[in-house]
Amino acid sequence: MSGLVEQFYQSFIEADRWKRYLEGLGVSFTVTLGALALGIILGILVAIIRTLHDQQRAGQEKAGLGFLNKICEIYITIIRGTPMMVQLLIMGFVIFSASRNLVGVAILSLGINSGAYTAETIRSGIMSIDPGQMEAGRSLGMTYATVMKDIIIPQAIKNILPALGNELITLFKDTSLVTVIGLTDLTKVAIQIQAKTYQAFMPFIGIAIMYLVVVLILTKLLGILERRMRRSERR
């Protein structure tokens, strides 16, 4: 029993190690939020290009749109067809090997990865909106872009909020992979402390609990947000 207390002391209290866990958690949060924002922006762009492309009338296809759509298809194929860890290694050691901004590289890698998955989610959200909404907006003289931005996308996002919530949680857990490019996130902190104290149990079980608690809190918050957004329309 005293062995466990000793281990706990060494893993968390000694040399103020708990502070390092918190710093690591902060890095994981930063990467998660940055990647989520980038992923949603990329996802919306890809989703709009693919929707526009699919909605073209036969015989009136625009060449530029076909090209963009092809790029989107290649992007999604590559990202979904290769492991995230390999993508991180390529970004960290091939494309941005000279960069010191590891947080930036991590956000970029995870964001680009997330965008490929979010795009299909957002596309299904856009398709779920009654075409009458676009028609009403256009009949009032507003441009396609304005109607998309102010009317279609907000409703689409609301419909896919549960799916986007899952994406947020997946992203947060996937940040543990950024350890491989040398970024000191929560997982890296545990590895470093384990290397110092030669004790694996406390650091790794400890961060497992931390990840779990954060995920539980996020799940709860998303539930509240979802209920609030639904209620706002019932007034």
Partner 1 sequence: MKEDKELIRIEHLAKSFGDNLVLRDISISIKEGEKVVIIGPSGSGKSTFLRCMNLLETPTGGKIWFEGEEITSPDVDINKIRCHMGMVFQHFNLFPNMTVRRNITIAPIRTGLMKPEEADAEATRLLERVGLLDKADAYPASLSGGQKQRIAIVRALAMSPKMMLFDEPTSALDPEMVGEVLEVMKELAESGMTMAVVTHEMGFAREVGTRVLFVDEGMIKEENTPEEFFNNPQDPRLRDFLSKVL
Binding site for partner 1 (CB under 8 A): 57-58, 130, 132-133, 135-143, 146, 150-151, 154-155, 158, 232-235
CB 221, min distance to partner 1, A: 21
The residue (of 82 and 143) whose beta carbon lies closer to partner 1 is 143
- CB 132 to partner 1: min, Å: 4
Residue closer to partner 1 (CB basis): 1 or 140: 140
Report in angstroms how near the CB of residue 23 gets to partner 1 at its nearest: 40
For the CB of residue 58, give the shortest distance to partner 1 in the complex, in Å: 8
Listing DSSP states for 152-176 in one string gives IHHHHHHHTHHHHHHHHHHHHHHGG
Neighbours of 69 (CB within 10 A): 19
Query: What dihedral angle (degrees, nearest 10) is formed by the CA atoms of 150, 51, 33, 168?
Result: 110
Q: Which is nearer to partner 1, 58 or 224 (CB)?
A: 58
Of the two residues 71 and 229, which places its CB atom closer to partner 1 in the complex?
A: 229
Residues 62 and 54 sit within 8 Å (Cβ to Cβ): no
Nearer of residues 151 and 200 to partner 1, judged by Cβ: 151
Q: Kindly state the smallest distance separating residue 154's Cβ from partner 1, in Å.
A: 5
**Nearest CA among 210, 204, 219 for reference residue 170:** 219
Identify the CA nearest to 126 among candidates 150, 101, 154, 89: 154
State the minimum distance, in angstroms, from the CB of residue 57 to partner 1.
7
57 vs 100, which CB is nearer to partner 1? 57
Q: For 4, left (φ over 0), alpha (ψ -120 to 50), or beta?
A: alpha
CA angle, 43 then 164 then 125, to 5°: 65
CB nearer to partner 1: give 97 or 133.
133
Question: What separation in angstroms does the CA of 233 have from each of 158, 220, 228, 230?
Answer: 11, 21, 9, 6
Phi, then psi, of 199 in degrees rounded to 5? -120, 125
What CA–CA distance (Å, rounded) separates 45 from 84?
A: 21
Q: Least distance (Å) from partner 1 to the CB of residue 232?
A: 7
Q: Is 44 left (phi over 0), alpha (psi -120 to 50) or beta?
A: alpha
